[in-house]
Amino acid sequence: MTEQTAQQTAEEITREQVVQYLQDNPDFFVDQDELLRGLTLPHDSGRAISLVERQVHLYREQRDTLQHELSELVSIARQNERLFEKSKRMLLQVIEARNVNDMAAVIDDSIRGDFGLDAASVLLVTDTKLPDASQGALHVVTPQDAQERLGSLLEGDRAVCGQFRESERNFLFPNRDEPIASVALVPLRSQGLVGVFAVGSCQPGYFDQSMGSLFLSYISDTLSRLLPPMLERHSAGAGTADRTAEKP
């Protein structure tokens, strides 16, 4: 093969073919110490480095990236563990509540005290009158009012986080001296129950659509199952008290 022919053959070998060959033969550089020492690559510092140095540099970068990702995963796991413990503690107290007013007080205290948020709201949509219903986190509204003020928020089945309209925030968290600026809301649905569970912050942008809603949904799923029998007992107790009061 003449020098000209060899040059033409080399020119026919493309960059992609070289890459593909090395990928297909990862052990090509085994026993090629002289070749490895002769290969150099540009470095950020401006000096040329050997292929071995470049590989070591890449492995260190990969190690640092993996360590950073692992640290983030550990941090998220610890945060989730704390949220789970707070959620469990609140729901155990809710289960032990004697009536809906006690339940509302437990939720209000837990969300503001344990979770460090500014407000909680368990808003029930019903035409049934519940005695002393609007206490703590509990609010009872008619279906008409709820539809006018919340609209499609009542129809969803997933958590919604973000900056709601002012009218919606005021409806969910009424009679506040300091208005709520950011809200996370999830519907309550079970055994004919219609309502929403919402938590609020006075800090704008505290909740946003990118936030996870696992624990909020976990709390709302539990409340959805606890509330119907609790409300039934509440209404039955109120009816008995009314009949007793009517007797001469």
* Domains located in the chain, CATH noted: 17-96 (no CATH), 98-246 (3.30.450.40)
Per-residue pLDDT band at 241 (split at 50, 70, 90): very low
162-168 average pLDDT score: 86
Lowest mean pLDDT among 49-58, 71-80, 209-218: 49-58
Q: Is the confidence at residue 3, as pLDDT, over 70? A: no
- Mean pLDDT, range 72-89, rounded to an integer: 89
Residue type for position 245: A
Question: Of the candidates 131, 87, 84, which has an alpha carbon nearest to the alpha carbon of residue 106?
Answer: 87
Residue listed under structure tokens 């492995």: 59
pTM tops 0.75, yes or no: no
Region 108-122: what's the mean pLDDT? Answer: 91
Q: What is the pLDDT of residue 140?
A: 86
pLDDT value, residue 175: 83
- Block residue for tokens 């610890």: 78
Q: Compute the distance between CA of residue 58 and CA of residue 152 in angstroms, rounded to an integer.
A: 51
- In the chain the first and final C-alpha atoms are separated, in Å, by 123
Per-residue model confidence (pLDDT) at position 69: 92
Within a 13 Å sphere around the CA of 29, how many CA atoms are in the beta-carbon half?
Answer: 13
What is the average per-residue pLDDT within 120-142? 77
What integer best gives the mean pLDDT of the chain?
80
Q: Which residue has the higher pLDDT, 238 or 173?
A: 173
What is the model's pLDDT at position 43? 59
Q: Decide: residue 234, CB within 10 A, 0-12 exposed, 13-18 middle, 19+ buried.
A: buried
CA gap 54, 42 in Å, rounded: 9
- The pLDDT assigned to 44 comes to 62
Q: What is the mean pLDDT of residues 242-248?
A: 47
Question: What pLDDT shows up at residue 220?
Answer: 87
Reported as a single tens digit per residue, the pLDDT across 169-216 is 999 998 888 999 999 999 888 877 888 999 999 998 888 876 667 888
